[in-house]
Amino acid sequence: MRRTRAAAASAVTVSLLAAVTACGGGSSADGGSNDSPKTLTYWASNQGPSIEADKKILTPELKKFEKQTGIKVKLEVVPWSDLLNRILAATTSGQGPDVLNIGNTWSASLQATGALLPWDAKNFGKIGGKDRFVESALGSAGEAGSDPAAVPLYSMAYALYYNKKMFEDAGISGPPATWDDLVADGKKISKDDKWALGAEGANLSENIHHVFVFAKQHGADFFDAEGKPDFTSDGAVAAVKQYVDLMGKDKVVAPGNAEYAQNQSLQDFAKDKTAMVLWQTAAATLKAHGMSDDEWGVAPVPVRSGTPGADTAVNSMVAGINMAVFKNTDNIDGAVKFVNFMTSVDEQTILNKTYGSIPPVKAAQQDPAFNTPALKVIRDTLAKSAAPLPQVANESQFETAVGTAVKELFADAAAGRPVTTASVKEKLDEAQQQMPKK
C-alpha cells in the first residue's frame, strides 16, 4: 500500500516537475539553402479586419507570384497577440517559415537573435536597392550601424482622428494643434457621458507608442546614447505623467478606457461617445463600425505649446510592418524573390491601398490613392515629424516593462488615486530594474 502511494506521489512529482520547467531547447543552422526551391511558407501579420479578410486579400497576390515564378506560397495569417511568441518559438526550434512579417519596433530585438537574414548591399541589390525605400522606414528595420534585419512593407504613423459632429456640437471649429488646446477643447466636450479623447490603457504597445512621442516632445528618450535604459529622466517621467494625466488630472479621457486593449476606443469614436482618438490608419476600421468617411477628419497629433526646444516636434513613432527572411530557409532564392515581389511598385500600391497604409517604397507613393486628406497627413508625418522607436536589442522588454507601468498608472488614475511625479518615477524605476543588465 505504502509502495503504491509512494509511486503515486512520485508520478505526481514527475508530472509537476515537467509542468513547471518545460521549456524548449534550441539548435542552430547558419544560412539558408535552396533545397526546396518550389515552395515557401509565409507568416503574414493580421492587417485587415480579420484573418479571413487577410487571406482573401493576399491569396490572389500570392497566386500572381506563383504564376510568375512557379513558387507556391503557403500562407498563414498570424494574429498580433501570437506573432512574437510564434517567431520566438520558431527561432528556438529553427523550424520557422521562410518569410515572415514582423512589427517594425521588434526589428532590433529579433535581429539580436541572429535568426533573420541580414539585408546587406548584396541582398538589397536583389530587390532593387536600398534607395527605393523611405529613409525613416529603413530606420526601423534594425539597429543603427548594422545591416537591416528586414525590409519595410507597410508604413503607418499616428494621427489625430476627430469626430466632426461631436466637435460641431461642442462649438469647436477645428482640431487642436497643441496639447493645451486639446485639453481646453476636451473640457468642453467631456460631459454627459461623452469624452474628448480615447485611449487603450491596458494595451502595452499602445502605451509605449504614446509615451515615446511625449518623451520626444519633452526632449527625452527611454534609452541613452549607448542603448542603456534611462526610464527615470525628468523628461521621461514628465512624458508618462502628461499622458496619464489626460485621464487623471485633465479628465478628458474616460476612466473606463484604462481597461481597453481591444481597440474599443475606436468603437466609442464611431458611436459618438469619444470625440478624438490617436490612431494609425483607422479608416478601414471606422468604416467597419459604420462610420462614413465624411463624418471624421484627420489632423497631425498635437505637440507641446510654446517653443519647448529643438527636436521636440516629433508627433508620431514610425509605425509599420517589415518583411523578414528566416536565415535557415530551405529556399533562400525564392524567399528573396518573394520579398522583391511584395515590395514591387505594383504590389505595394495594391496592398497599401487595401490596408489603408502608406507604401514605404517611394515610387509607389505617387499613386493618387495615397493623396487623400487623411493619408496626406500620415504621409507628411512620416516624412517630417515621425521618429523610430529605439532600435535596441532590449526594445521588446522595454515595451513590456514600461507599457505595464503605464497600464498600472492608468489603473490608479481610473480608480481616482493620485498620479504624482513621485509615483510615476517609482513605477518607471521598477520597470528599469526589470530590464536585463547586459
Partner 1 sequence: MTVTAEPAVGKEAPPGATGPAPRRRTGRVRRIALPYLLLLPALLLELLVHLVPMVIGIVMSFKELTQFYIRDWGAAPWAGFDNYSLSVDFDAPIGKALLHSFFVTCAFTVLSVGLCWLLGTTAAVYMQENFRGRGFLRAVFLVPYALPVYAAVITWAFMFQRDNGLVNHVLHDQLGLTDSPSFWLIGDNSFVALLVVSVWKGWPFAFLIVMAGLQNIPKELYEAASIDGAGMLQQLRRITLPSLRPVNQVLVLVLFLWTFNDFNTPYVLFGKAAPEAADLISIHIYQSSFVTWNFGTGSAMSVLLLLFLLVVTGVYLVLTSRGRRAADV
Q: Contact between 403 and partner 1 (CB under 8 A)?
A: yes
Instruction: Tell me which of 53, 57, 112, 369 binds partner 1, using CB under 8 A.
Output: 112
- Using CB under 8 A, which residues numbered 257 to 276 contact partner 1? 258-259, 261
402 binds partner 1 (CB under 8 A): no
SS3 per-residue string spanning 260-272: CCCCHHHHHHHCC
Site for partner 1 in 2-21 (CB under 8 A): 2, 5, 9, 12-21
In this complex, which beta carbon is closest to partner 1, that of residue 158 or of residue 398? 398
Residue 60 lies near partner 1 (rule: CB under 8 A): no
84, 123, 177, 222, 244 from 395: Cα distances, Å: 13, 25, 30, 10, 22
Among positions 197-226, residues that touch partner 1 (CB under 8 A) are 201-202, 204
**Window 26 to 45, contacts with partner 1 (CB under 8 A):** 26-28
Among residues 57, 335, 345, 397, the one that binds partner 1 under rule CB under 8 A: 397
Show the site string, 219-258: x = touches partner 1 by CB under 8 A, - = not.
-----------------------------------xxx-x
Residue number, 8 or 363, with CB nearest to partner 1? 8
SS3 assignment for the chain: CHHHHHHHHHHHHHHHHHHHHCCCCCCCCCCCCCCCCCEEEEEEECCCCCHHHHHHHHHHHHHHHHHHHCCEEEEEEECHHHHHHHHHHHHHHCCCCCEEEEEHHHHHHHHHHCCECCCCHHHHHHCCCHHHECHHHHCCCCCCCCCCCCEEEEEECEEEEEEHHHHHHCCCCCCCCEHHHHHHHHHHHCCCCCEEECCCCCCHHHHHHHHHHHHHHCCCCCECCCCCECCCCHHHHHHHHHHHHHHHCCCCECHHHHHCCCCHHHHHHHCCCEEEEEEECCHHHHHHCCCCHHHEEEECCCECCCCCCCCCCCCEECEEEEEEEECCCCCHHHHHHHHHHHCCHHHHHHHHHHHCCECCEHHHHHCHHHHCHHHHHHHHHHHHHEECCCCCCCHHHHHHHHHHHHHHHHHHHHCCCCCCHHHHHHHHHHHHHCCCCC
Nearer to partner 1, 253 or 364 (CB): 253
307-366 residues in contact with partner 1 (CB under 8 A) are: none
**Given candidates 49, 70, 114, 129, which one binds partner 1 under the rule CB under 8 A?**
114
CB of 20 to partner 1, least distance (A): 5
Selected from 50, 59, 421, 433, the binder of partner 1 by CB under 8 A is 433
Smallest gap, in angstroms, from Cβ of residue 270 to partner 1? 15
Question: In angstroms, what is the minimal distance from the CB of 309 to partner 1?
Answer: 32
Q: Which is nearer to partner 1, 45 or 394 (CB)?
A: 394
Candidates 51, 53, 57, 88; binder of partner 1 (CB under 8 A) is 88
To partner 1, the closest distance from the beta carbon of 112 in angstroms equals 5
Cβ of residue 40: shortest distance to partner 1, in angstroms?
A: 21
Number of chain residues interacting with partner 1 (CB under 8 A): 62
Which residues bind to partner 1, rule: CB under 8 A? 2, 5, 9, 12-28, 81, 85, 88, 91-92, 94, 109-110, 112-115, 201-202, 204, 254-256, 258-259, 261, 393, 396-397, 400-401, 403-404, 407-408, 410-412, 414-415, 429-430, 433-436, 438
